[in-house]
Amino acid sequence: MAKLVERFICPVCKRHSTNEPEALKCRNSHAVIKEVWAVSEQYKEPWKNKACNVAHYGEERALFEADLPDDIAKRKQKIAELIDTDPEKCRRLGYTQKS
Protein backbone atom coordinates (compact mmCIF):
# COMPACT_ATOMS: atom_id res chain seq x y z
CA MET A 1 0.00 0.00 0.00
CA ALA A 2 1.32 3.41 -0.90
CA LYS A 3 2.41 5.81 1.79
CA LEU A 4 3.20 9.50 1.93
CA VAL A 5 6.83 10.54 2.25
CA GLU A 6 8.54 13.90 2.35
CA ARG A 7 11.02 14.88 -0.30
CA PHE A 8 13.36 17.83 0.03
CA ILE A 9 14.05 19.39 -3.32
CA CYS A 10 16.97 21.62 -4.18
CA PRO A 11 15.44 24.88 -5.46
CA VAL A 12 18.28 25.30 -7.94
CA CYS A 13 18.66 21.93 -9.69
CA LYS A 14 15.45 20.22 -8.42
CA ARG A 15 17.38 17.17 -7.16
CA HIS A 16 15.35 15.20 -4.63
CA SER A 17 16.74 14.39 -1.20
CA THR A 18 15.24 12.45 1.69
CA ASN A 19 16.36 15.03 4.27
CA GLU A 20 16.56 18.79 4.51
CA PRO A 21 20.31 19.17 5.34
CA GLU A 22 21.18 17.25 2.18
CA ALA A 23 18.92 19.51 0.10
CA LEU A 24 20.41 22.62 1.72
CA LYS A 25 23.91 21.31 1.02
CA CYS A 26 22.97 20.78 -2.62
CA ARG A 27 21.45 24.29 -2.87
CA ASN A 28 24.59 25.84 -1.40
CA SER A 29 26.87 23.85 -3.70
CA HIS A 30 25.69 25.68 -6.81
CA ALA A 31 27.93 28.43 -8.06
CA VAL A 32 26.76 32.01 -7.92
CA ILE A 33 26.10 33.54 -11.33
CA LYS A 34 28.33 36.55 -11.92
CA GLU A 35 27.22 39.21 -14.39
CA VAL A 36 28.57 42.63 -15.29
CA TRP A 37 26.04 45.45 -15.44
CA ALA A 38 26.44 49.10 -16.35
CA VAL A 39 24.74 51.19 -13.67
CA SER A 40 24.01 54.90 -13.88
CA GLU A 41 25.17 57.13 -11.04
CA GLN A 42 22.22 59.49 -11.28
CA TYR A 43 20.75 58.78 -7.85
CA LYS A 44 22.37 58.39 -4.44
CA GLU A 45 20.09 55.41 -3.70
CA PRO A 46 21.54 52.50 -5.72
CA TRP A 47 18.20 50.80 -6.41
CA LYS A 48 16.89 53.89 -8.24
CA ASN A 49 19.65 53.82 -10.83
CA LYS A 50 19.08 52.31 -14.25
CA ALA A 51 21.12 49.15 -14.87
CA CYS A 52 21.88 47.41 -18.17
CA ASN A 53 23.36 43.94 -18.57
CA VAL A 54 26.64 44.06 -20.50
CA ALA A 55 26.03 40.51 -21.79
CA HIS A 56 22.87 41.77 -23.49
CA TYR A 57 23.96 45.20 -24.76
CA GLY A 58 27.74 44.97 -25.05
CA GLU A 59 29.91 47.14 -22.81
CA GLU A 60 29.84 50.42 -24.72
CA ARG A 61 26.10 50.43 -25.35
CA ALA A 62 25.29 49.25 -21.81
CA LEU A 63 27.24 52.21 -20.41
CA PHE A 64 25.49 54.64 -22.76
CA GLU A 65 22.06 53.07 -22.28
CA ALA A 66 22.35 53.19 -18.47
CA ASP A 67 22.77 56.95 -18.67
CA LEU A 68 19.81 57.48 -21.03
CA PRO A 69 16.76 59.02 -19.31
CA ASP A 70 13.65 56.85 -18.89
CA ASP A 71 11.45 59.68 -20.14
CA ILE A 72 10.82 58.87 -23.84
CA ALA A 73 11.07 62.45 -25.11
CA LYS A 74 14.31 63.10 -23.22
CA ARG A 75 15.68 59.76 -24.38
CA LYS A 76 14.95 60.60 -28.03
CA GLN A 77 16.63 63.96 -27.52
CA LYS A 78 19.81 62.34 -26.15
CA ILE A 79 19.93 59.89 -29.07
CA ALA A 80 19.35 62.75 -31.53
CA GLU A 81 22.28 64.57 -29.91
CA LEU A 82 24.46 61.48 -30.35
CA ILE A 83 23.42 61.20 -34.01
CA ASP A 84 24.49 64.84 -34.51
CA THR A 85 27.71 64.79 -32.50
CA ASP A 86 29.04 61.26 -33.12
CA PRO A 87 27.22 59.44 -35.94
CA GLU A 88 29.92 56.75 -36.03
CA LYS A 89 29.37 55.87 -32.36
CA CYS A 90 25.64 55.97 -32.96
CA ARG A 91 25.97 53.39 -35.78
CA ARG A 92 28.36 51.29 -33.71
CA LEU A 93 25.92 51.19 -30.80
CA GLY A 94 22.99 50.47 -33.10
CA TYR A 95 20.89 53.53 -32.33
CA THR A 96 18.65 55.09 -34.94
CA GLN A 97 16.23 58.04 -34.91
CA LYS A 98 13.54 55.57 -33.76
CA SER A 99 15.53 54.03 -30.87
Question: Does 12 engage in binding with Zn ion (CB under 5 A)?
Answer: yes
Question: Does 26 engage in binding with Zn ion (CB under 5 A)?
Answer: yes
Q: Could you list the beta-strand ranges (E) of the chain.
A: 8-9, 16-17, 37-39, 51-53
The window from 1-9, 22-30, 58-66, 85-93 that contacts Zn ion (CB under 5 A) reads: 22-30
Handedness of CA 86, 70, 54, 42 (dihedral sign): positive
CA distance 95 to 28: 42
The window from 20-28, 39-47, 63-71, 81-89 that contacts Zn ion (CB under 5 A) reads: 20-28
Binding site residues, Zn ion, CB under 5 A: 10, 12-13, 15, 26
